[in-house]
Structure 1
């Protein structure tokens, strides 16, 4: 049984992404990317920026693309911390809450 892993792409994925793009006859989508691995093989990648996808056409990867898009939406919806500039006797500092 193979396990599907969803994770952020790293520089170590460059060759696998190039192979995947070639199989799908597309360009590698804009970074940052989320990728899906089935076992130890990259089967899909989705841009967190615009949702563009590449996938292995010889593998059942449609569900993986959907999961990747959901993950990208989750990350995009995460609220960014609010920052406020404080002036103290020693200069400025940024507070996050």
Structure 2
């Protein structure tokens, strides 16, 4: 699922900062698209940060679901096309 990454040199705990220190910026992965394959089978999946999902209204969640389904399909199809050109099926001895 989605993750958050602390700034360089920081742990996942709450760092104690001296008074007047600037706030640190965290990189947060809100959305992830994962394309994998097994042999000639290509699978595309997506994930959203749990807090973002909770913050969305039902119609917004449905819109995200529809859009991400399309994106996963496009990415998966493109991956399959590139894969088929890079690794053509071996010829058979029929």
- Structure of greater relative contact order (alpha carbons < 8 Å, 6+ residues apart): 2
Higher Cα radius of gyration: 2
Could you say whether these structures have the same fold, taking a TM-score greater than 0.5 normalized by the shorter chain as the test? no
TM-score, length-scaled by structure 2: 0.36
